[in-house]
Amino acid sequence: MATKIDRRNFLKVLGLGGAGAALAGCDMPSYATLEEGEEQVFSYLAPEEYMVPGIGVWYASTCLQCAAGCGVHGRVREGHALKLEGNPDTAVNKGKLCQMGQAALQTHYNPDRITSPRIGDKNVTWPEALAYIKEKGRGAPAWLTGSIGGHQAVLLDTHLRASGGGTHYAVETINAQAWQAACADTLGDAQPNLHVDKASSILSFGADFLGTWISPVKFMADYGAFRGDQRGVLTVVEPAMTLSGANADHWVAARPGSEAAVALGVANVLASEYGVSISTLPNGAADAIAAMSAGRVAELSGVDAKTLSKIAGTLMSNHPSLVVGDGSYETAAAAMMLNLMLGNVGATITPGAELIPADLGVRSGSTKALADFATDAGAGRIGTVFITGTNPAFTAPGGLKIKDALNNVGLKVALSMFEDETTALCDVVLPLASSLEDWGTHVPATGADRGEIHVQQPLMEKLYPDVLGLGDILLGLSQDAGADGLADFEDYYGYLRTAVSAMIGTELEPAWQAVLQAGKVQAPAQDRAFTANGALSFNVAETKAPAPGQLHLITTARQGLFDGRHANLPWLQEAPDQISKAVWDSWAEIHPATAAGLGLKDGDYITIGSDSGLITTRVFTYKGVHPDAIAVPMGRGHTDYGRFATGIGVNPLSLLDGTQDGRTGEFTNTATVRVQATGDNRHLVRLMDTDRQYGRKLAATITADQHRRNQANKQGSA
């Protein structure tokens, strides 16, 4: 007979067993849980008057988490930086700061930081590492960096000149090169100012200006004004929904690569239906617009005539507008044609400013530079390369075979805070100070008041004694190479202070303190002017539906992990993705109809294969993707990037073949891929797991029509 658990026994067990368990669970409600003598506390040796333990002091500095160059204020308490916020005195970010900027603290305090120089696997001292570089270096050294500006860029140029005239490759996977090329061709100014706040309507062709494009925090702040009392209308045309797309009033899915066709189609409608003149457009544009009939647009992009009319109507009735586009040169140029037709140039697009010491300006990173580097390295033209601020072994398209190219370089020196896929291939690794430990000046990507550049100052002492700032390393290398006029400077701080003092015309301490307090300094600058347009040629891609079993892959960029550089920050891995709400893993966005056609459902594992690579990830069905497309966000899939990033998710960039845009030389971010189910299925962990509210009205909604009627009633009664 088995023990019978009847009602009486059940209650007995629950009563007495439970009482014991409950008492044990109390963990002795006593004083024992509070610590005595477990932690240590240090006092100041000699106190600074403004330093009070327990009270934070805010210092101004500059954010280096992306190339936008926002100003920050950092709270420092007991010698440690504790919190970052936007600097309200800057025109760029106006006191705002994005999640990547907030997470700079985790870059700084990251437990995976490199703390000592090393040669191969062996930790060495700085003199040993520098002697090794001197001994093994061959030929004029090249530099492979991210976007870089300010006095670091000046020193970098100095080093290149002094050491034999090597090349500087500035690489940035998420960039606006196509837009800049189109602006340069049509306006004679590659970096005009864009006034989101002054527009009444915005039309974006794949330029995620609220998420990752050029200076997202600036655009977000301006977008707040755009959506203010006179509510502007946002239309977004793109193959996979971005953060900007998710904010749009009208979101249009276009087949990957066909955005230019839609833009020219809208121009066609404006010209034919609304009589907007195209005679003033550059040569070549008029023909391209005339050729893009509604039928042709539908054939290339899948966007119908009604949608084109609606987009054109919105632009016509909400003036001035702003049209932006990126991803390919044609898209950007077609967007610029719309701006010219609608008279936006001069209204929402105004000339930028040129810094007078032009060598301070930003060297904007591109993927063309990476292609050039791979070519030069592959041909054996590079003997020594210094790599910093970029991780080509991770971000390069799989088809580029960047590792072979890197291995062809005689001596590879990485200046890095973290071990990553690129430092693993390098012969010498030099430990870099974090952005909160270093000095510098940075030229914002856009949006600064004329000639204003942001100053970066250390918020705290270096966490590790052996790390060095980028400026200090550049100065040391330049001095070593015998550059003129640098011998007197003991460190980069001295160099920077002298340079900034020359800029403000005084060497007095209060003036320098004022610069540090403001976090910015006024450099001499002059406004650029728009020039007449030359001829343009449009090579509109012949986009069509993929063959059965194939899809167009889009590698999408997200604010957060960005191009993968922030994958080692747990805050950003943990922050739900803006579109899928997924955390700590990769996924592939597929339109529900496409998924149904392939027999796929949410959580199904699929392999995505191209000629360049193969990845395995999970399906996330989502209507914000064109039915011909499969979208995989980049940033995850690190094989060697510390404890938080390694082994998390997959890297879609490995599927790209390295095809370059004909006009800009940028890598395209699309590829044709084969998709196959593996048969496995596992739930994708997402915040807000469902789109349904199960009748609970968690978020109350009304239809747009109803809203308009309410507004009309309000105005009627007022």
Partner 1 sequence: MSPVRPKRRPFPWIRTIMAAGVVGALIVLGGQMLEQERVGGESPVTEAGPRVPNAVFPTDTFVGKDVPQPINYSHKLHAGDLNINCLYCHTYARRSKVAGIPPTAKCMGCHTVIATADEKPEIEKLTVMWESGQSPAWNKVNDMPDFVHFSHERHLQKFLFDNPDMKVEDSREVCAMCHGDMVEVGVAKKMRPLTMGFCNTCHENNDGPADCTRCHK
**Residues of this chain that bind partner 1 (CB under 8 A):** 1-3, 5, 9, 12-13, 16-21, 23-24, 26, 28, 30-32, 34-47, 52-55
**Pairwise CA distance, residues 592 & 589, whole Å:** 9
**Pairwise CA distance, residues 238 & 251, whole Å:** 8
Q: Report which of 393, 342, 361 is spatially closest to residue 152, judged by C-alpha positions.
A: 361
* Least gap, CB of 29 to partner 1 (angstroms): 8
**Which residue, 5 or 356, is less far from partner 1 as judged by CB?**
5
**Pairwise CA distance, residues 18 & 13, whole Å:** 7
* Least gap, CB of 82 to partner 1 (angstroms): 13
CA distances 148 to 62, 359, 509, 525, Å, are 13, 11, 28, 19
* Least gap, CB of 465 to partner 1 (angstroms): 14
**Which residue, 20 or 275, is less far from partner 1 as judged by CB?**
20
- Say if residues 637 and 683 touch (Cβ distance below 8 Å): no
**Pairwise CA distance, residues 51 & 378, whole Å:** 55
Quick one: 138 exposed, middle or buried, by C-beta within 10 A (0-12, 13-18, 19+)?
exposed
* Least gap, CB of 493 to partner 1 (angstroms): 21
**Pairwise CA distance, residues 294 & 303, whole Å:** 9
**Which residue, 14 or 593, is less far from partner 1 as judged by CB?**
14
* Length, in residues, of the chain: 718
* Least gap, CB of 12 to partner 1 (angstroms): 6
**Which residue, 41 or 698, is less far from partner 1 as judged by CB?**
41
Q: SS3 of 424, please?
A: helix
* Least gap, CB of 7 to partner 1 (angstroms): 13
* Least gap, CB of 54 to partner 1 (angstroms): 4
Please work out, in degrees rounded to the nearest 5, the angle formed at the alpha carbon of residue 371 by the alpha carbons of 365 and 374. Answer: 120
* Least gap, CB of 50 to partner 1 (angstroms): 12
**Which residue, 18 or 224, is less far from partner 1 as judged by CB?**
18
Please work out, in degrees rounded to the nearest 5, the angle formed at the alpha carbon of residue 608 by the alpha carbons of 605 and 610. Answer: 165
**Which residue, 29 or 599, is less far from partner 1 as judged by CB?**
29
**Which residue, 3 or 701, is less far from partner 1 as judged by CB?**
3
Do β-strands 384-388 and 411-416 pair in parallel, antiparallel, or remain unpaired?
parallel
- Say if residues 154 and 442 touch (Cβ distance below 8 Å): no
* Least gap, CB of 56 to partner 1 (angstroms): 10
* Least gap, CB of 73 to partner 1 (angstroms): 20
Please work out, in degrees rounded to the nearest 5, the angle formed at the alpha carbon of residue 294 by the alpha carbons of 288 and 295. Answer: 105
**Which residue, 46 or 529, is less far from partner 1 as judged by CB?**
46
* Least gap, CB of 72 to partner 1 (angstroms): 24
Maximal C-alpha separation, the chain: 99
Sign of the CA dihedral running 117, 121, 124, 126: negative
**Which residue, 1 or 547, is less far from partner 1 as judged by CB?**
1
**Which residue, 37 or 127, is less far from partner 1 as judged by CB?**
37
**Which residue, 18 or 228, is less far from partner 1 as judged by CB?**
18
* Least gap, CB of 394 to partner 1 (angstroms): 36
Residue 429, number of CB atoms within 10 A of its CB:
26
Token pair belonging to 145: 């960096």
**Which residue, 21 or 379, is less far from partner 1 as judged by CB?**
21
**Pairwise CA distance, residues 125 & 116, whole Å:** 7
Beta bridge partners of 122: 119
* Least gap, CB of 409 to partner 1 (angstroms): 44
Q: What is the DSSP letter of 598?
A: H
**Which residue, 82 or 545, is less far from partner 1 as judged by CB?**
82
Encode 208-240: b = buried (16+ Cβ within 10 Å), e = exposed: bbbbbbbbbbbbbbbbeebeeeeebbbbbbbbb
**Pairwise CA distance, residues 92 & 603, whole Å:** 41
Token pair belonging to 263: 């833009």
**Pairwise CA distance, residues 13 & 8, whole Å:** 9
